[in-house]
Structures are given as C-alpha cells and as structure tokens.
Chains A and B, each alone.
Chain A
Amino acid sequence: MSEPVSDSIRAGAGEETAPGAAKAAPVSGQLLTRYRGRFTGNESDHDLYETVDLAFEDHERRWSGALLARAAYDLDGRESGQDDFFSLQDTYEHRLTAQLFHAYVDVASSSFSLVRLGRQPAYETPLMLYFDGVRAELAPRGERRATLGAFAGVGDHQYESSSDGDFVFGTFGSMLVWPGAELRADWMHLEDERLGAEHEDDLLGLVLGQDILGEERATRLDLRFTSLEGNGRDVRLTGSHVDSRANVTLQGSLYRLLQTQHQLAAPLDPFSDTLFELFPYTQLGLSAGKDWEDFSLLSGLDLRRVEEDSDEGEFNRDFERYFLTGTLPEVLTVSASMTGELWRATDTDYETWGASLARAFEGGWDATLGSAYSLYEYDLVSGEERDHVRTTYLDLRWKASLAQRWRLRYEFERNDFDDFHEVRLEYAWNF
C-alpha cells in the first residue's frame, strides 16, 4: 500500500477539496490493518499487522511531522526456528512486536530549508541512512543556490538488539557550479557495534549532477565518487534520458567498486558477517522503454564482472541479468502485463516469468489475476540443483470511498518443498 498522499487527502477525510480554499488538516495519514494467514501441509501461521502512517502540521505551519510504525502480532505463536513459516518477526521472544520506522518533527525556519528532529531517513547522502537525531540544512542562497547541512544521532538498525556503540555524524555542502549542474560533497562518520565487534568508518562522497532540459526531452547525468578512510571506494556514472514526445526512456549506469569491502559499520557493511568480503567489480546497467498508445515495452540488462578472476567465488560472482516487460494497458477492458527476468551467474542461474491480467469494475472494484514461474539452478552440491516455483494469485481491491479501501489476496505457491497457501485481508483508512 505504498500510495502517494495527495493534498486532497491531507485536506481532510478524503473529501474533495474546495478550489484554492483548503489548507492542511493537523493530522492526516493512513491506518492499515492486515491479517495474513499462511498454510502448508501440516503447518499454518496467522499474523495480524497494524501500520500507522501519519503526517501532522499545525495550522500556522510553524512545525510539521511524520510517523510510520508497525505492530505485528503472532496470533498462534512460533515456538521454534524449525517450521516453514519462521521469519524475522519470530526471532523475538514476544508474540507482539513493534517497529518504529520514522517519527520526526520539522521546525519551520526562514534561514533553514530543513530542521528535523527524531527518527528519520536521509536519502540524499552517499549512503542511505536512518537515524535518531537532528538534521539541519541551510536554505539555498544566491544564484548558485549554495547550501550547507549537517546531521548527528544514533543509527537506526531495525534488527540489531542494541544501539550501544552506534553513532552517526555527517555534513554536506552543495551548489550549482554552472547552469543545470550541481556539485555536492558529503562527509559521513559511522560507528556501529555489532555482534560484539566495533566498527568505525569515515566516508567522503562527491556528486556532480547535470540536468539538460529541453522542451520535450530531459537528460540527467550523475557522476558519484566515494572514498572510504581516504581510499577510493567506488565510482558510479549514471545517465537517464526521457523523450516525452517519442515516449522513450533510456537509462544507463556504469559502476566500479574500487577496493575490497571487509567488515564495516552498518549500513556500509556488505553483509560481511554472512557473505564475507566483497571484491572489486565493474557493473554496467542499461535499460530502454517505450510507450505506444496501446502497448509499452521495457527491457534492460545488468552485467557484472569481478575484477580479478581469482576473486570469483561463492559470494563474488560474474553475472548477467536481462529483463523484459510488456504491458497492454487496455485490451477489451483488461490490462495485461508480461515480464521475464534472467540471471546468468557463475555456477548459478535464475529465471522468472510472469503474466497478469487486471480489470477495473464499476463501484470501485478492481481485480488482478496473475501467475509466475521461477527456476533456480545453483551449485549447492553437484551443480545440478534445480528448484521450480509456480505461483498463482488473485488480488481483489475495493475502493469503498476515497477514504476506505479493502483488499483480499489469495496466493498459491507450489515449489519443490511443498504447496503453500497465503491469504491476506486488508483494510486501509485514509484520513
């Protein structure tokens, strides 16, 4: 239910907004209640979830804030880690668990574009970060829109059992260097205590972004470089081009990891406790999409090559990935989508193919029927392991009103372990 939240929803109870008149209500958001039942041969699992997504703001707009949290209740309880439905939520000793994803307050200021306190995400930093703390960013000044910002706090690591020894600090500056081009420099200091080990790392990031905007064409180029502890860590060149007249989108990226990544502070760490070192590699990504009146197509590929052949191993592989998606937005009132994805990696192949049909009905109903087939081929013992996974689902949604939505989803999965059934019932209230 990752839906955009529009001003009409913010304006109050999902009712239509009077032109030009409405201002934000103090509290808006969504409450989502979900039951999930899962069944297989001799086992079943029943869970209840409540997700709260709130935005609040005072009438004078001196401050605003947001909160996203979820509570999960295991209706039947899990007693061991050996059943087929054991998952992350079951690793806690309580049937009721709660997670706070963000909860922050923004204080309006004429000098600052952002002053934020609380648990918050930072997406623009070289490394996406969640932390409990404070962030301040100066309002852009002058023609060059120069700005500075800083943040500090305790890193939010959802599944770590303790925040002892965790700390983050960072600062950045950005400015327009020539028309359409922004240069941004970041410094991040990360401390993370995990599994009894202390990690402390400093990351420097530089980004040069160039926008080339035409009447019907937009091109964006980004060159990103990060340095870890004074040594170059990685470099990434990305580009995207949108031609709205031809309905064409092109994207490309070239990434190179420059140094071996060992145990590092989260979220910088490359899962080294489980997957060990990440060795230098180069990865190329390309995608192209085009829309016609009654058909759209998107295809792409990713190619990775480990720098040194001797570094190739179980967790450092060359791979090639291809995907293709075709969509028929409306054929006899039904929209159809077909997609395929293939991974060809050293000693491991994976492919998945899927198709779905969707139709909207009067009264706010819509239904989606879909099926997918996945094949895993991997080298666990002899290199001939093959797992087949077939999935079929029916998804019914009912928009009872602008504010209330229901959803019922049934999914059947047949794989080489067993047959699995999953039922979800959701109710969402937007206010």
Chain B
Amino acid sequence: MELLKRTLGRALSSPLAAALALVACAGCMLVDALRSGERALVFSHALHVGEEELACVSCHESAEAEEAPGMPAPDSCAVCHDELDAEKTTERQVAALFDGLGFRAVRASRLDDEVLFTHLTHVTAVKDCGACHRGIEENRVVDAGVAVDMQACQRCHAESALPNDCSDCHAEIDRDWAPPSHARDWTRLHGRDCRRSDPGAADDCALCHRDSSCEQCHRVELPASHDAHFRLRGHAVLASVDRAGCATCHEPASCDRCHAETLPLSHRGASFGGTRNTHCLTCHFPLQGEGCVTCHKATPSHALGPPKPDWHTPAMDCRSCHGSSLPLSHVDDGSNCNLCHP
C-alpha cells in the first residue's frame, strides 16, 4: 500500500501528468458543451409493462399478425391518457411522443437494411418478447437500448441449433468494417480483452478474426516503432526499461540469434579491437552497468575486482607506488583504481 501511495503521489505530482489530465478534462467538457444531438425520447416501458402489466400487443397491436410490430397510435394512448394528461404541461403529455410521421422513436430499434430478419417469424417461434428485447420491463428511455442485442440472437440460435453464421443474418459483410470498440487506438487497448477465455459472443474476436490476425502483428510484421534507429540502437534502450514489452512478441532466442552474430555499433571501425587497447573504456568507464556481459558472458565483472590491501586508503595515489609510466596489467590509466578495487 505504501508503494502504491508513493507511486501515485509521484505520478500525480508530475507536471506532465497534471497537464495531460487537465487537457483530457478540458477536452471532455468543451466537446460535451458544444455537442448537439437528439435527446432520447422519454417513454417508460417500466411503467407500462412492469407496473401496469400491459401486454406488449396492447401498444404494438400488429406484432402477432404482421411483419411490422406496429407502434403505438395516439388513439390507443388516449384511452388512458386523455384523463391522465389533463393537468400535465404540453411537453409531458402523450401527444409529445408523436409527430406528423407517427411515434417519434420508431427508428430506435430498427435494424439495418442488410440484416436478414423477420419479426413475425420470431414472435411466432419465441412468443416471449423479452427473450429478444432483454430488460424491456425496466426500460425508461426509448433509445438504442431497446434494439435487439446480437449476443442474444447468437445465444438463442446456438441453444436451439439454428443457423448461426454471420451470413445467416447479414447480407453485407465487409471485411473493412470494425466494431465501435476498435475505433480509438485499439492496438493499445485490445490486449487486455482479447485473451479472455470466454468472452461474450458479441465481442468474441473469433467472429471476425482467426489466429493469423494475432500472429500477423505479433510474429510476422514489425510494428511501426521498429524503424532503422530502433534496429540499430533504440531496441536496447527500450528493452533496458521495459523488457515485458518485448515479450509481447519475442522470446530470448530473438536476442541471442542477433547478438551472437552481430557487433554493436560501438565495436565497429579500425580503432576498435586488438589487445590492451581502450575498447572497454570507450563505452564503459566509469562502468555504468554490466553492458559487456550482454554478449561477453565470461567477462569478469568490474565489481568483482580484488580489494586493495587493508592498509591502503582511497586518498592514496596508486601510481606513486605502482609506477608512473609502466603499463598496468589492464587498460585504464590508473587514475581511479577505486572504481573497481574497493
């Protein structure tokens, strides 16, 4: 818990984090304020179906006889509402639900033209409206929520051993179409959802994707970040920070195969190589880590340099006793022996 507090504290105190949060909040509020759009129609199925226990066909009069279920007509509502609406304001009267074309929310549950669906067949076969219009008895706003849920279609078709392929219900299947969840930088977000062992049928990746969809990105193709600089140096920088990111696509053999075959950029050129030269010091003095042993497994660690004799102190000038001009047994100039010899 302490770690979490420390982490959050550090994150929130970062000016960058604060700026990002501010931009996000400001953006939300600004766009929400400017957004214009049709408001959902307030009509309570919960009141009519749930509390008053009206049958569906009381309002949708042709549901059991015709393909179009029929939407409420002003006359039907007037049976009760003439009296109920007498003291209501105009906008709260049932007449507000209608315009010149009829019931205003008629489009809320309409399916796309390409969907191969007959309402009458389902009414006859299923008989229970709530089986498809799930939760209708609690619905209080007529909007897209009253539309048929594809997941319910699939579940029922599967349980009844009915045709359940995409093409059984959809006339147009476009490989370029993507569900709304994919719209917003989905490549960053999909990982947390797609490895679920039992996702809901409607958002099951397998509806549109095969295993190759995963592997095309994770094993076959290079991500956009893997440019020339990334190949030459960037990969080492980022792998040192977050190796878990590499593991999304790579195994250890990916590193081993290249590092056993290629030289780092710093090792190239005529000035590099040979014995007793300064190649270690070119990059690793003072030693910042264990970079050499990434490839040179047998390289003794500088941290394991033998300690100085007890009577030596850090302030001593090593060269005064160990020779000022003779080469030492290793490559540095003896200016800071204490780095390796504690």
Chain A positions within 8 Å of B, measured between CB atoms, are: 1-9, 11, 16-17, 19-23, 38, 40, 51, 53, 55, 66, 68, 70, 81-82, 84, 86-88, 90-91, 101-102, 120-121, 123-124, 128, 145, 157-160, 174, 182, 184, 194-195, 207, 209, 211, 213, 215-216, 218, 220, 222, 238, 240, 242, 244-245, 247, 249, 251, 253-254, 266-267, 269-276, 278, 282, 284, 287-293, 295-301, 303-305, 307, 313-315, 317, 319-327, 329, 339, 342-345, 348, 350, 352, 374, 376, 378-381, 387, 389, 391, 402, 411, 413, 415-418, 420, 422, 430
A293 to nearest B CB, angstroms? 7
Chain B positions within 8 Å of A, measured between CB atoms, are: 3-4, 6-8, 10-11, 14, 16-17, 20, 23-24, 27-28, 31-32, 35, 37, 116, 134-135, 139, 143-145, 163, 165-169, 171-176, 178, 180-181, 183-185, 188-189, 192-198, 200, 208-217, 219-221, 225, 227-229, 231-234, 237-243, 246-247, 250-263, 265, 268, 283-284, 288-291, 294
Contact B195 A123 (CB under 8 A): yes
Chain A hits for B194, CB < 8 A? 123
Chain A hits for B294, CB < 8 A? 274-275
B27 (CB) vs chain A CBs: closest residue:
A297
> Out of A244, A293, A315, which one reaches B180, CB within 8 Å?
A244
Chain B hits for A293, CB < 8 A? 35, 37
> Out of B4, B35, B219, B229, which one reaches A387, CB within 8 Å?
B229
Contact A345 B241 (CB under 8 A): yes
> Out of A267, A307, A313, A323, which one reaches B247, CB within 8 Å?
A267
List 9 contacting pairs A-B, 8 Å CB cutoff, sorted by A.
Answer: A7-B166, A51-B216, A70-B220, A238-B192, A275-B243, A298-B189, A320-B11, A322-B17, A430-B175
Chain B hits for A160, CB < 8 A? 251, 253
Contact A327 B184 (CB under 8 A): yes
Closest 3 CB pairs of A and B: A314-B289, A81-B262, A4-B208
A81 (CB) vs chain B CBs: closest residue:
B262
Chain A hits for B242, CB < 8 A? 304, 319, 321, 343
Contact B221 A20 (CB under 8 A): no
- Classify the secondary structure of A's interface with B: strand
B28 (CB) vs chain A CBs: closest residue:
A290
A68 (CB) vs chain B CBs: closest residue:
B212
On whether A287 and B188 interact (CB within 8 A), knowing A121-B215, A266-B252, A324-B23, the answer reads: yes
Contact B258 A413 (CB under 8 A): no
> Out of B24, B167, B215, B289, which one reaches A7, CB within 8 Å?
B167
Contact A273 B234 (CB under 8 A): no
Contact B212 A391 (CB under 8 A): no
Chain A hits for B247, CB < 8 A? 267, 270-271
A121 to B173, CA, bound (A): 27
Contact A417 B232 (CB under 8 A): yes
B36 to nearest A CB, angstroms? 9
Contact A158 B219 (CB under 8 A): yes
Chain B hits for A297, CB < 8 A? 24, 27-28
Contact B185 A240 (CB under 8 A): no
Given contacts A68-B216, A207-B197, 13 further A-B contacts (CB under 8 A): A68-B211, A101-B212, A101-B220, A124-B195, A253-B192, A271-B247, A274-B255, A295-B27, A313-B289, A314-B240, A326-B27, A387-B233, A418-B228
Contact B14 A20 (CB under 8 A): no
A150 to B37, CA, bound (A): 52
B221 (CB) vs chain A CBs: closest residue:
A2
Chain B hits for A315, CB < 8 A? 239-240, 243, 289
B269 (CB) vs chain A CBs: closest residue:
A82
Contact B28 A194 (CB under 8 A): no
Most buried by A among B32, B228, B258, B283: B228
> Out of B10, B176, B251, which one reaches A158, CB within 8 Å?
B251
A270 to B24, CA, bound (A): 35
A288 to B27, CA, bound (A): 13
Contact B193 A220 (CB under 8 A): yes
Chain A hits for B268, CB < 8 A? 82
> Out of B169, B178, B184, B211, which one reaches A296, CB within 8 Å?
B184
Contact A298 B229 (CB under 8 A): no
B313 to nearest A CB, angstroms? 26
A415 to B237, CA, bound (A): 15
A157 to B249, CA, bound (A): 11
A121 (CB) vs chain B CBs: closest residue:
B211
A326 to B23, CA, bound (A): 11
Contact A301 B11 (CB under 8 A): yes
> Out of B168, B171, B254, B283, which one reaches A159, CB within 8 Å?
B254
A225 to B213, CA, bound (A): 27
A176 to nearest B CB, angstroms? 9
Contact A66 B251 (CB under 8 A): no
Chain B hits for A416, CB < 8 A? 229
A303 to B241, CA, bound (A): 12
Contact B171 A17 (CB under 8 A): yes
A406 to B135, CA, bound (A): 47
Contact A174 B197 (CB under 8 A): yes
On whether A6 and B173 interact (CB within 8 A), knowing A11-B167, A211-B200, the answer reads: yes
Contact B7 A284 (CB under 8 A): yes
Contact B7 A303 (CB under 8 A): yes
> Out of B168, B183, B208, B262, which one reaches A20, CB within 8 Å?
B168
Contact B173 A271 (CB under 8 A): no
Chain A hits for B135, CB < 8 A? 215
Contact A289 B256 (CB under 8 A): no
Chain B hits for A417, CB < 8 A? 228-229, 232-233, 265
A296 to B182, CA, bound (A): 12
A126 (CB) vs chain B CBs: closest residue:
B195
Chain B hits for A374, CB < 8 A? 229, 234
B182 (CB) vs chain A CBs: closest residue:
A4
On whether A274 and B184 interact (CB within 8 A), knowing A6-B174, A305-B7, the answer reads: no
> Out of A245, A299, A303, A350, which one reaches B237, CB within 8 Å?
A350
Contact B200 A159 (CB under 8 A): no
A209 (CB) vs chain B CBs: closest residue:
B196
B19 to nearest A CB, angstroms? 9
B21 to nearest A CB, angstroms? 8
Contact A17 B213 (CB under 8 A): no
Contact B173 A17 (CB under 8 A): yes
Contact B255 A271 (CB under 8 A): yes
Contact A389 B227 (CB under 8 A): yes
